[in-house]
Structure 1
Amino acid sequence: MQLLRFLFLILFIGNFGYAQDAVITDDNTAPYYQKQDISKENLDTYKNKKAFNYEEKVADEDSLWTKFKRWLKGILHRFFSSIFGMDAATGILWFILRVLPYIVLAILIFLLIRFFLKVNSRNLIYGEQKKAEILFTDEEQIIKNENINALITEAVKQNDYRLAIRYYYLLVIKELSENNIIDWQQQKTNEDYIKEIKTNSIQMQFEKITKIYDYIWYGEFKIDAIKFENLKLNFINLNNQVKK
């Protein structure tokens, strides 16, 4: 009996507490709104405030260059992460691994620019050839079979000093080859011959006349008799040194 009274008391208190928490509303009561008047000056002020600007800005589409950098950066990041574990790296190692992809990217860009500049410069050089020019395929014929000194004399008579410089350069190549200082091959470049020369003094002089030759022949730089007389001394002096 005492237990029943206790349970009844608990239920009564619980219902009383729930009734106290309930909110009684009158469905017939209309909501109350207070109208606020805003002047034109205040309206303009709110319009100019960034906090009241709800327009959504559409992000500009990334350029192809930006997409390429992001793509390359992702590849490099995954590559170095798989090798070094960048997520677990800390301190200086973390900094190096974070910066390394940018360094690699810069090197790649530099190599690409250098490659395209080199290709374009060659296209400009070989773009047009005048009738006085000699094709590269004629080099072997001139070096092995022609009297180059006679060709130089004939070019000077024709006042074609640019062509005479060409023959002087081929004469140097011939002398270097006959004295076993270089191994002349049709497919080799002038830079290859510079590397093959072991004597420093000859190498430096050959590098100098190569620059002169490239500037006058490929750069189509016109020279007169006075400039020719000064320039040809570099070729003659080198030939004399090779023959010693």
Structure 2
Amino acid sequence: MTKYLLLFLFLLLFSIPSFAQDTLIVSKSEIKVDSSTVEEVKFKEGFQEKYTADEFIYEVKVKELSAWERFKEWLYDLFERIFNSTSRENTENIVELFLKILAAAIIFFVIYLIVKAIMNGEGSWVFGKSSDKKVINYEEIEKNIHLVDFEKLIKETLKNGENRLAIRYYYLWLLKIMSAKQLIEWDVEKTNSDYLYEIKNTSIKSQFEYVSYLYNYIWYGEFELDEVTFVKAKKAFDNLINSLGA
């Protein structure tokens, strides 16, 4: 029995390759060949331009922050640390409100500086000859003698009974005229002696020395100015101013 079984297995082993080979044989008539012509497709020139919109860009580029954006990011971080905030949205709202308030403050400060430059400390407009305003403080007048109409200013001062102040304005008016005539070089820091040294005309020099004495006596003197002294000083200033052709 064992002999027959071994013989059967031997015959079965050698018959399998033959059977497999027979199953792989296919006739040529059964093979299909595609003989159609393949048409080459070419892209038109400039076709890339149609695909430049955002929806065709698949590479995400990180936007570079401007200096202003970097400053705001710094503020966000600063406010988050100060207020111990955990909400970025709340921090951004606080920063935006802070920036608006700061911008408004800067605008009001600039307006204040402009107004202050146009007006003096007492709220009166700095004026020239064509202005209707007549009162500005002593410091502004002394710094801007070439812009002041002293003749009108003196008349207004005398009308108010301020004789001592009128002599002060007479003196500044005289300096303005002498500077315009190039007899002196005006400077707010100069003294009467400085101006006296600059004057070359002997007659004018003598008259200026006298009115300078009267001015120092009246303006800096600690006494009541009587009418006689005032009239004498006013006449001396008028005479010198008229002699200069003013």
TM over 0.5: no
TM-score (norm 1): 0.42
Q: Which has the higher contact order (CA 8 A, sep 6+)?
A: 1
The structure with the greater share of residues assigned to helix is: 1
